[in-house]
A and B are shown apart, each in its own frame.
Chain A
């Protein structure tokens, strides 16, 4: 780490400052306080951005001009697939021009309204995919500055609000980690494997076949899972699992 002294010296040189010893003292105090504040703020924003990586959904943060400033891990993976949604010149881009117009209309609307503190309606857009898989579902919402924090929006590249775009892939077969389900719902290893398969969109019969057990055994295991979790139907169980912490975080790091 470069200390405040080195920073102050570099700044003085870059700006061609001739400083007296008194002024050097001031510059050094500025350097020390600036580095401490910036360090704290940098860690705070890095942690919050990195926390978004944990979630099993694509999250994009755009600046008020609609430029992409952050994509979480799932967001990056989704863009890398280039299947209907991509980035060009720092802007999200849909392959179909109609959908592209709708997406950017929604982004402009979200960026426009929020600095005045008006919570606007979120917009929903389907994004078709050349692979002919089911379309991505996107929700565009404004990021409202919390009370007492207007400054970021005044000093940002443009006035206006940041925009949040969350995108889901209906064909994502991501399933919760069985070991997480085992812990969360007190299941046995066999039960947690079946629960994960169901939460991943497979049927009991498919699971039985894939894991080479009889359908009867799988059904009996399902019954025990339902009893343990207090669910009455399979659909209710899937809801419980998908909405659990295990269902919303990425299963593999």
Chain B
């Protein structure tokens, strides 16, 4: 029965908590191990946001969905344990029991006890803070029918630093991943194709426009994680440019990059590429780890398609330049490469009216010539991002 000494139990529980630090989906298993270790039958791991007052249950161990739901809907506002704990431990990490927060005889008279917790066998609480210095806070609460004993508190006190470490490790990983996802999504918003290559020239990321260009399989493709062109000599030139940019990035030299054309088997106009080094700022030591790494090296490949028919959204142009709806429609058409005559014919307006409209647009935007206007529109935020 007791093949393992208590110390080994602790080690096993710690092992499972560390596994959860690296993989959030392992939390239920870690809590399932922790609960009997501290003498508990049920547990809830909770995350909440002190500024938005939103909360979320990360793990519920042997607590039914209805109970959780009712607790969040009906009792979150007057959960006496939470209130007493928040007051007593404001900002300080804690390990505590329900009986030490609210006297058990008092608690036994309360509605939350009789209505919600008693039927579920959750009459005492044993809780520890995981992250307790806002705005996002988290805590782990254990429950059982009987009052928790001193030895249970001591056991949770032994686990608490490991739980907090796991929470901190996880938070840093999740936040760093979040930073990556957000910056990559910003690249997705650009109206031009963007490929991010790692220091060895492998494609690490293609934004949405680049994905569309690659999908069209017309000149540019990925082969064994590397960019290739339809023609062998072009592939060699591209590889050379990528290698040079990677070396510049390694040496942390910023450079304007090299331009290349890529012929398309469809005989449409060539794709235009600019290959330039990416030079991230040096990574400072992270708060949690004290670890500083060498900044990563990478290469940026910007791809444009001269045949791309994207035009800025006329609604955006209207607001950006204070145009009327008719003016913004014409502006969008000009930015899309149409001539005045073409626009007049297509929109069944007389060429005279169109000329007069363009004059007013030029006045409003402070442009002297039509080419000037086209430049202004395309370089605007509306021209830059994907419509």
Contacts and interface: CB of A to CB of B under 8 A. Distances in A.
Interface stretch (B111-119, B141-149, B191-199): B191-199
Interface string A28-42: 011001110111011
Contacts of A35: 289, 291
Interface string B143-174: 00000000000000000011011000101111
Interface string B172-189: 111111111111111101
A34 B173 contact: yes
Contacts of B51: 65, 158
Contact of A23 (B11, B276, B321): B11
A191 to B, nearest CB: 14
B185 A242 contact: no
Contacts of A162: 182, 185
B186 A245 contact: no
A118 B52 CA distance: 20
A7 B289 contact: yes
Nearest to B315: A124
Interface stretch (B35-43, B297-305, B345-353): B297-305
A121 to B, nearest CB: 9
B368 interface: yes
A124 B319 contact: yes
A218 interface: no
Nearest to B257: A249
B381 interface: yes
Given A26-B15, A238-B374, A45 B7 contact: no
A147 B295 CA distance: 28
A253 B257 CA distance: 8
Interface residues of A, number: 110
Given A41-B180, A245-B259, A141 B378 contact: no
A49 B14 CA distance: 36
Interface in A196-253: 198-201, 203, 230, 232-240, 242-253
A124 B136 CA distance: 32
A152 B182 contact: yes
Interface in A132-177: 134, 137-139, 141, 143-146, 149, 151-160, 162, 164, 166-168, 170, 172, 174, 177
Contacts of A5: none
Interface in B34-63: 47, 49, 51-52, 54, 56
A51 interface: yes
B381 A52 contact: no
Contacts of B375: 199-201, 238, 242
17 contacts: A33-B22, A38-B176, A44-B296, A46-B295, A50-B279, A52-B186, A122-B316, A137-B381, A139-B381, A139-B382, A152-B175, A156-B178, A170-B380, A180-B257, A183-B258, A200-B375, A252-B256
Q: 3 closest pairs, A vs B, by CB?
A: A152-B178, A43-B296, A45-B180
